[in-house]
Amino acid sequence: MEPLVLPPELCRRLRDAERVVAFTGAGVSQESGLATFRGRDDALWQRFRPEELATPQAFERHPRRVWQWYASRFGTASAVEPNPAHHALVRFADLFPSFLLVTQNVDGLHQRAGSRGVVELHGTLRHARCHACDRRMEMRDAVERSPEEPPACACGGLFRPAVVWFGEPLPLAALERATTAAAGADLLLAVGTSATVFPAAGLIELAHRGGAAVIEVNPQPTAFSGLADLRVTAPAGVGLPALEAEVRRCRRAPS
């Protein structure tokens, strides 16, 4: 990737930035070997339509099929490692007085890389929860106990992955935390997201309207590329370390 050169104005804004939000999607885990949802030809949704699998209706109609898809995704996510993009985001947290990592991903790789206080807008594959009574258990135990079909809960309901499906509300506390941080941010990094799923994707516009500088790290353009102050058109595992070097250079600059 050609060396990143930040326009002086952006360098100044990075130097003075205090409140930073990183907003990530499936693209940040792509270099770990996890398929994304859209874009690439190995995208998950190419093989399955979201309506078929990532909805409560799909689970109620085909519990075994939906459970097996998530059990397999849990296995895959457990078998891969965080990549340089995840590790760069851990280091970003030390560059600014206030840093919040908000992810749409359910793979837990940010936490495994060492990121703390991660806001998971779309839930997590690490846990299963009862579709009827919300009781929780570790996904590892649930899949071990019942790889082929959703385990039954003592209440008679079925366990499902603790992710947010289409048509389901996002966890209120997570959404409020992310919304407040984005609205008050000086800088928002949008990394590896097609920004097509709402209300999560609305965070980018919200930050921009609140006066934040927006930097997009994505090899492809997205619907929000037009409002980005900088586009790093590279894989996140390459683009984020390069951006980190530039941020360090700008923040050493005399204020």
Catalytic residues: 122
Q: Minimum distance from CB of 5 to ligand BV8 (Å)?
A: 20
CA–CA distance from 1 to each of 5, 16, 239 (Å)? Answer: 12, 27, 8
Q: Is 31 in the site for ligand BV8 (CB under 6 A)?
A: yes
Contacting ligand BV8 (CB under 6 A), which of 39, 82, 108, 151? 39
- If the CB atoms of residues 171 and 184 are measured against ligand BV8, the closer one turns out to be 171
Q: Which of residues 152-181 bind ligand BV8 (CB under 6 A)?
A: 163-169
CB atoms inside a 10 Å sphere around CB 69:
19
Judge whether 28 and 104 are in contact, CB under 8 Å. Answer: no
Q: Minimum distance from CB of 67 to ligand BV8 (Å)?
A: 12
The stretches of 80-218 forming alpha helices (DSSP H) are 84-92, 109-113, 139-145, 172-183, 202-209
Report the amino acid identity of residue 150: P
Buried b / exposed e across 184-203, counting CB within 10 Å, b at 16+?
A: bbbbbbbbbbbbebeebbbb
The stretch near Zn ion (CB under 5 A) out of 86-94, 133-141, 212-220, 224-232 is: 133-141
- If the CB atoms of residues 36 and 111 are measured against ligand BV8, the closer one turns out to be 36
Q: Is 196 in the site for ligand BV8 (CB under 6 A)?
A: yes
Residue 157 binds which of Zn ion, ligand BV8, none (CB < 5-8 A, kind-dependent): Zn ion
Q: Is 130 in the site for Zn ion (CB under 5 A)?
A: yes
Q: Minimum distance from CB of 129 to Zn ion (Å)?
A: 8
Q: Is 1 in the site for Zn ion (CB under 5 A)?
A: no
Judge whether 229 and 213 are in contact, CB under 8 Å. Answer: yes
Q: Is 33 in the site for ligand BV8 (CB under 6 A)?
A: no
Contacting ligand BV8 (CB under 6 A), which of 17, 21, 26, 203? 26
Q: Is 152 in the site for Zn ion (CB under 5 A)?
A: no
As a whole number of angstroms, the distance between CA 196 and CA 178 comes to: 17
Contacting Zn ion (CB under 5 A), which of 63, 157, 184, 202? 157
- If the CB atoms of residues 152 and 253 are measured against Zn ion, the closer one turns out to be 152
Q: Is 120 in the site for ligand BV8 (CB under 6 A)?
A: no
Q: Is 199 in the site for ligand BV8 (CB under 6 A)?
A: yes
As a whole number of angstroms, the distance between CA 211 and CA 59 comes to: 41
Judge whether 22 and 102 are in contact, CB under 8 Å. Answer: yes
Q: Which helix (H) or strand (E) holds 187?
A: strand 187-191
CA–CA distance from 28 to each of 22, 144, 189, 235 (Å)? Answer: 11, 28, 12, 8
Contact set with ligand BV8 (CB under 6 A):
25-27, 30-31, 36-40, 43, 54, 104-106, 122, 163-169, 192-194, 196-199, 217-220, 222, 235-236
